[in-house]
């Protein structure tokens, strides 16, 4: 997809989901697998539950609070310095090798066109902030993790960035910049998942990106653009 520079007087907004949209993998799922590999968690049990939650997400039946209680627990079990060291290793071994040129180019085109860009993901901020930076994205809307005295508690803070929560959190992020959806002439949201229907329905240009089966059918019914980055 090619974009012209933002014309004078126009404001454009480009939002990107992460897992299976910009990445051909699930960063949350792979983070848990990485922690099991380095011995930070009980690999067998965590993997079994992780697989169950992934299937629920794909089916659109995930209870986000139940999942976050499970998925954020390792952040509370280890010192922040150790978590940061592991994340650097995770970026090198898992994330950077998975990023494909088509995804980098998509983000770069929007940035170079002068669009306001953000990564909008249900995955927590600890996992995703360095990934957003890897794509050159300065703005991140992600599930926030509660901290006390600089340490993670293992609990989410505020509204999780999931389903309708992505709309709530994106509105709040824009408001923090003194902006609102109505102030943008054109807006895009790129996502692979039916779980993101609330935010896809809000933008002027929803793009079903590497869509799951249900989103692909809906995109065909509604005449939405379909983008397959990894084919």
Catalytic, 51? Answer no
Query: What region, left, alpha or beta, does residue 115 occupy, with left being phi > 0 and alpha being psi -120 to 50 degrees?
Result: beta
Q: What is the CA radius of gyration of the chain?
A: 17
Question: What is the topology classification, in CATH, of domain 12-227?
Answer: Rossmann fold (3.40.50)
List, in sequence order, every residue forming a beta bridge with 148; answer none if it has no partner.
151
Burial class (CB in 10 A: 0-12, 13-18, 19+), 199: buried
Polymer length of the chain: 231
Which secondary-structure segment (H or E) carries 206?
strand 205-209
Poorest-pLDDT segment among 37-51, 112-126, 154-168, 185-199: 37-51
pLDDT in tens, 32-66: 899 999 999 887 888 888 889 888 887 878 898 99
- Spatial CA neighbour of 118 closest among 80, 155, 76, 170: 170
Burial class (CB in 10 A: 0-12, 13-18, 19+), 139: middle
- Distance of alpha carbon 190 from alpha carbon 95, whole angstroms: 19
Is the confidence at residue 68, as pLDDT, over 60? yes
Q: What is the pLDDT of residue 60?
A: 79
Catalytic, 213? Answer no
Q: What is the pLDDT of residue 51?
A: 87
């Amino acid at each position: 997809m090619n974009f012209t520079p933002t014309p004078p007087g126009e404001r454009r907004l480009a939002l990107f989901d992460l897992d299976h949209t910009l990445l051909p993998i699930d960063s949350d799922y792979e983070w848990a697998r990485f922690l099991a590999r380095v011995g930070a968690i009980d690999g067998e049990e965590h993997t079994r539950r992780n697989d169950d939650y992934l299937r629920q997400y794909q089916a659109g039946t995930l209870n986000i609070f139940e999942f976050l209680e499970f998925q954020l627990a390792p952040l509370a079990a280890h010192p922040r310095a150790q978590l940061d060291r592991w994340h650097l290793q995770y970026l090198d071994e898992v994330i950077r090798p998975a990023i494909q040129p088509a995804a980098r180019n998509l983000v770069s085109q929007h940035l170079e066109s002068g669009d306001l860009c953000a990564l909008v993901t249900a995955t927590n901020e600890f996992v995703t902030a360095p990934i957003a930076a890897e794509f050159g994205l300065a703005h991140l809307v992600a599930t926030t993790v509660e901290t006390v005295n600089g340490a993670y508690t293992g609990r989410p803070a505020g509204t999780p960035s999931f389903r309708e929560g992505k709309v709530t959190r994106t509105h709040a992020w824009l408001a923090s910049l003194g902006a609102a959806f109505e102030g943008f002439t054109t807006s895009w949201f790129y996502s692979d998942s039916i779980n993101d229907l609330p935010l896809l329905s809000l933008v002027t240009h929803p793009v079903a990106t590497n869509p799951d089966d249900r989103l692909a059918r809906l995109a065909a019914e509604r005449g939405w653009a379909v983008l397959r980055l990894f084919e």
